[in-house]
Amino acid sequence: MLGIAAQPTSHGCEYAQACKNKSAIAKNVYFNVTREPIMNSKKQSASARHILVKTESEAEKIKQLIAKGADFGVMARKHSSCSSAKRGGNLGEFRPGQMVKAFDNVVFKLPLHVVHGPIKTQFGYHLIETIYRD
């Protein structure tokens, strides 16, 4: 995969500078001076989208609409209380441990491209679709 040698920045944080361009983050990122890997290529990452609602029954109704052909992104924009709703529920790429455990259990263990849920967390009820996993 793509390797990036992060350039020193005026504030001395090479990794933060590399993170500014999320699409440029690769599996192996190295500090210029130490050449020590700061991201392990074996670490898993995933991308998912979700719809967050207050009640389980609301989540079930939305899931049924999606099963009948409604577009997930449209349903997220219309029903989700999460700020990701404006992006069709897309949460971008993340690693295990960045989301709550119940969410991670779905994203990193269950089949891709399937709408899972409702999944209860402290935030409400989620419908989750994992887009990809590395």
pLDDT at 91: 97
Does 39 share its domain with 50? no
Does 39 share its domain with 52? no
- Of 57, 63, 109, nearest to 89 by C-alpha is 63
Mean pLDDT of 106-113: 98
Complete DSSP assignment for the chain:
--EEEEPP-TTS-HHHHHHTSGGG--SEEEETTT--BSS-TTS--EEEEEEEES-HHHHHHHHHHHHTT--HHHHHHHH--SGGGGGTTEEEEE-TTSS-HHHHHHHHHSPTT-EEEEEEETTEEEEEEEEEE-
The residue that leads in pLDDT, 52 or 22, is 52
Is 0.75 topped by the overall pTM? no
Over residues 21-50, the pLDDT tens digits come to 333 333 333 333 444 444 444 589 999 999
Domain range for 9: 1-43
Does 38 share its domain with 73? no
Structural domain tally of the chain? 2
Does 9 share its domain with 53? no
Does 65 share its domain with 88? yes
